[in-house]
Structure 1
Amino acid sequence: MKRIIQSANSREGKDSMKRCLSIVLIATLLLSMIACSKKNDDIPTPTEAPPQVEEKAETISEQPKPEVHVTEEPEEINQIDPSSLNLQDVYFDFDKFDLRSDSREALTRYAEVLKANGDVKVLIEGHCDERGTEEYNMGLGERRASRVRDYLVSLGIDSSRLKTISYGEMRPQNPGHNEEAWALNRRAHFKLSR
């Protein structure tokens, strides 16, 4: 008899446990559905329509374009042959913009010539060989031209007479693909004008 009562109690316990579990499950589902359906009154709703893409395009096209400042070469009418003043290219070692001793000696002579010809303006072109990226060579060419300009200024040439430009690897003196050609292309070249 005890067994019959125990089995009846265990069945009732299981049934009541199932009922409690079902109630908890239903309550959880109802709460989650209520939570999901609740409106969020804190977020303001937009009262205006967003701007159309066409209007933005018109606005952008109406803005002035920025000016690009490029160092221009002296006009050909006023150009002077650098060799007439005995100004030759100065050369650089591979991947360097430091002035070699022979370049410093040449630039010292050039400074004297430029002092004697005070109306002459100089465009200093920085050049590189073909090795390296185009972007890197443009920067290296600019550093080479600037180093020559700075040295001439240190020798007494007015900086307003000196301009620099970099051509990187774009204007080789020698189109070859060997060390001899590359050595000639690593240079600072002078263009003179009055």
Structure 2
Amino acid sequence: MLGRRSLDEQLEGLRSALSRNEVLTEVMSRAATMELPGWYVTAGCLFQTVWNVVTDKPPTRGIKDYDIFYFDAADLSWEAEDAVIRAGQELFAGLPAEVEIRNEARVHLWYEQKFGVPCPPHESTEAAIDSFASTTCCLGVRLEADGGWRIYAPHGLSDVFNLVVRPNPVLAPREVYETKAARWRCEWPELTVLPWPG
């Protein structure tokens, strides 16, 4: 079981699992051509691909969308982000999936209105990934110029492979975690969902 293997073996296992999702690898390849600052493909499309592979399901099953985060603090206007989003819509047209692109330098401008709690400005894409509601979700992957993969996994990969959903009470409120976890458990009943800390 990869969740109990060395980090090197887990990283190789992650690359192997993610490579089985052809939509994901195509999103990564196309995203690389946009040359967005600090970009990663992140969130559900990654850990859910692993869950599918580990539980012998089709690699794309239950994946709602493919998230791309980038970080551009030089222009925090909606117009600048919208231009990137529209370019992405053209680039990813024809893929059998929804691709969402967001500038993480702007999150603090809208987060409180959407989730009811303030979000301090992120300092990087990695900082944004660090704030996901579950540590299991804190994962980002991108293609580098040399074709290699850059993997950001601040909490490691054991929980991802062991199907453990662990809370990350640094930003998102408890109800966000519990709503997401309940939805995931419907798709992947094998998950172990750990409770929000009291």
TM-score scaled by structure 1?
0.22
- Which of structures 1 and 2 has the bigger CA Rg? 1
TM-score scaled by structure 2?
0.22
Q: Which of structures 1 and 2 has the larger relative contact order (alpha carbons within 8 angstroms, sep 6+)?
A: 1
Structure with the higher helix share, 1 or 2: 1
